[in-house]
Amino acid sequence: MIAIRDLQFSWTDGPFRLCIPTLEIARGEAAVLAGPSGCGKTTLLNLISGILPSSAGLVEVNGTDIARLSDAERRLFRLKNIGLVFQDFQLLDYLDVLGNVLLPCRIQPSVRLTPALRKRGLTLLQQVGLADFSQRSVTRLSQGERQRVALCRALLLNPQLLLADEPTGNLDPHNSRRMVELLLQESRRNGATLIMVTHDHSLLPMFDRTLPFEQYLAGKNAGDAGASP
Amino acid sequence: MNSALYLAVRSLWWHRRRSLAVVFSLAVIIWLPATLRIALNQFRTDISARAVSTPLVIGAPGSRIDLVMHSLYFRSQPAASVTMADYQLAAEATEAAAIPLHVRFSTRSQPGAESAPIVGTTPEYFHFRQLRPQSGELPALLGECVLGADYAVRSGLKAGDTVLSAPRNALNLAGEYPLLLLITGVLAKNYSPDDDAVFTDLRTAWVIEGIGHGHQTVDRQTDLTLLLPNDRENAASMTASMGILPYLEITDDNRDSFHFHGDTAEFPLTAILAVPAQERDRIKLLGRFSGSRQLQCISPPQVITELLSIVFRIEQLALLFTLTAAAAALLLLGLVLNLSLKLRAAEMQTMFRLGCSRLTILRLQSAEVLLLLLSATTVAVAGGLLVRNTAAALLQQLLL
């Protein structure tokens, strides 16, 4: 599913350097990237999703070399193939619950909102227990409910890869655990590969595999990496 | 609905207070110059139409603008009067139809309705201005009047009611008395200054001025105190004393007692409208009075054109001020929109990370700006059209 070879990335104005000689993650695998906040885990997710272009090396997602795609192609590829869950969920206040879930259908001309996708959005909400909240403003949801909306948005287009960037960062241990369970459950239900970033080591046993992130860092001060732009 | 439009509408609705503030500000920026332009155009159209429909005006020498404003709009008083003899002269000078005007008095103001000018004229005026009664009929007898449509609405008066004239000088006990006029009808709306006037016949106007009056019979049988002491015994003549009071209302019972003193030819008019049958007659009439020291004959369209050239200069100045203010307001608005975009940078970043195309981000932002502009323009144009007539009337009051 994901194949990385000789990947190198560094910020121009900092000591941070990421070097990954080889990394492979199989389809349907649930992997976790652990490490302290700001050590560069998000940067790796951004490289995999094509948000950031790599300095050198190969990043292949589902057989597609991300680096070979143009900016517009990368955006479209990301939308269609990768589901993203952010730390603070990044829901749009001015859209209701269903509107947020259906957002991916409104941001690319080539991805149209069809009745089937609307139905899928409602089904996803039903699966996470938010069927009755579809018309509710996201500002009136609890933190746990917002997580689930963000997850439904990430799963709407049936992505083969789910990237979750510290989705438990602001949660208490109980809710953190529930979020991870939900991510695992929904990614498995959708047959998606999952890579989650966390600094909470207690969650690691829930995943199939923990990626050795410390090995990928080549800078003299890995803790400064995330502070770079 | 188009996705960008959908997102823009939802965003604007969510931030509706801010959106309303922006729409209102933009609307004012658009509305001010637009309304000024619309109102001035309306004013120009109205004033030109009235002037064009009035070929010539004859009056006493003095301000040409005052004479035109007086004879067309019943505003401002000419410095001097003309007489019925002048009217006869004008009527005989050419084939022109001459219409006398006597506009010196107004109705007494009452709560909810300001006073209206009382226009003393002949039936030819109604024909000339195509004024027809919407209810009732035109005045036929002494002491009767007909109301302009707007004044009737403002005052709430109708046919059968009465309206009181207001003396110009309350201390002039020997001459002007308030006269109660019987309303015989209300004119159909004409969209002209005639809508705000009260029309009566010339003789009634002269009665209001005190030139004519009616009173009880003065003879030695009725009441000797109504005669001057020397005449009480003298059979040769009878002169009424100050004890006699004129009638303040003309009724069927006292109408016959009304009479005029003096030579009719010297009775005053304030202006004469002349309507030549042909262009040749118009030029002839203009030439006839061009050297006169007693009268002036002017062409209202010409005077109005001169007046409009002044208005045009004022308009340019007003537009300059408005556009300067608008430019400053637009700069502020740009700043607000810029700050708004910066506040939403995180949202745009999220969309980008999800895979949003550049075009969609541009469309989304453009759609919001366009919607705001469209709403503001709609509000401004609607507001401009709503106040067009009011603004034009206000301009007439300010400029004429």
Higher pLDDT, B344 or B120: B120
Residue whose C-alpha is closest to residue B204's, from B110, B122, B84: B122
> Does the pLDDT value for residue A221 go beyond 60?
no
CB contact under 8 A, B357 and A103: no
> Does the pLDDT value for residue A224 go beyond 60?
no
A/B interface, count of CB pairs below 8 Å: 67
CB contact under 8 A, A107 and B14: no
> Does the pLDDT value for residue B194 go beyond 90?
yes
In the three-class reduction of DSSP (H, G, I as helix; E, B as strand; rest coil), residue B387 is classed as: coil
Predicted TM-score (pTM) of the model is 0.62
Question: How distant is the Cα of B396 from the closest Cα of chain A, in angstroms?
Answer: 49
CB contact under 8 A, B360 and A107: yes
| Residue range A162-195, pLDDT digits in tens | 999 888 877 778 878 888 888 898 888 888 899 9
Q: Which of B353, B364, B368, B371 to mutate to test the interface with A (most CBs of A within 10 A)?
A: B353
pLDDT band of A223, cuts 50, 70, 90: very low
CB contact under 8 A, B357 and A107: yes
Q: Which long-range contacts (CB under 8 A, 24 or more apart) does B8-14 make?
A: B8/B364, B8/B367, B8/B368, B8/B371, B9/B371, B10/A94, B10/A95, B10/A99, B11/A94, B11/B368, B12/B368, B12/B371, B12/B372, B13/A94, B14/A93, B14/A94
User: Residue A161 has what pLDDT?
Assistant: 93
DSSP B179-231: -EEEEEEEEPP-SSGGGG-EEEEHHHHHHHHTSEE-----STTT-GGGB-GGG
- Chain B CB within 8 Å of residue A139 CB: no
| Residue range B24-82, pLDDT digits in tens | 988 888 888 877 777 788 788 888 888 888 889 999 998 888 899 899 989 878 878 89
Instruction: Give kind and range of the element (H or E) at residue A24.
Output: strand A17-25
Distance CA B213, CA B203 (A): 10
Give the whole-number percent of chain B exceeding pLDDT 90: 29
Asked whether the beta carbons of B176 and B212 are under 8 A apart, the reply is no
Q: Phi/psi at B270 (nearest 5 deg)?
A: -100, -25
User: Residue B3 has what pLDDT?
Assistant: 85
pLDDT band of A229, cuts 50, 70, 90: very low
Question: How distant is the Cα of A78 from the closest Cα of chain B, in angstroms?
Answer: 6
User: Residue B185 has what pLDDT?
Assistant: 95
User: Residue B95 has what pLDDT?
Assistant: 67
pLDDT band of B244, cuts 50, 70, 90: low
- Chain A CB within 8 Å of residue B356 CB: yes
User: Residue B178 has what pLDDT?
Assistant: 85
In the three-class reduction of DSSP (H, G, I as helix; E, B as strand; rest coil), residue B268 is classed as: strand
Please state, rounded to an integer, the average pLDDT across all residues of chain B.
84
Angle among Cα B338, B343, B344 to the nearest 5 degrees reads 95
User: Residue B43 has what pLDDT?
Assistant: 80
pLDDT band of B175, cuts 50, 70, 90: low
Q: Which residue has the tokens 């909240």?
A: A133
Q: Phi/psi at B96 (nearest 5 deg)?
A: -70, 145
Distance CA A58, CA A55 (A): 10
| Residue range B272-326, pLDDT digits in tens | 999 888 888 888 888 888 888 888 999 999 998 888 888 788 888 888 888 888 8
Stretch 323-352 of chain B: residues touching chain A, C-beta under 8 Å: 346-347, 350-352
Q: What is the mean pLDDT of residues B375-398?
A: 78
Q: Select the residue of A84, A95, A113 nearest B354 (Cβ to Cβ).
A: A84
pLDDT band of A202, cuts 50, 70, 90: confident
ipTM over 0.95: no
| Residue range B326-385, pLDDT digits in tens | 888 888 888 888 888 888 888 888 888 888 888 888 888 888 889 998 999 999 888 887
pLDDT band of A220, cuts 50, 70, 90: very low
Angle among Cα B207, B212, B218 to the nearest 5 degrees reads 130
Q: Select the residue of A75, A105, A153 nearest B357 (Cβ to Cβ).
A: A75
Q: Which of B4-8, B60-64, B182-186 has the highest mean pLDDT?
A: B182-186
Residue whose C-alpha is closest to residue B146's, from B154, B158, B128: B158
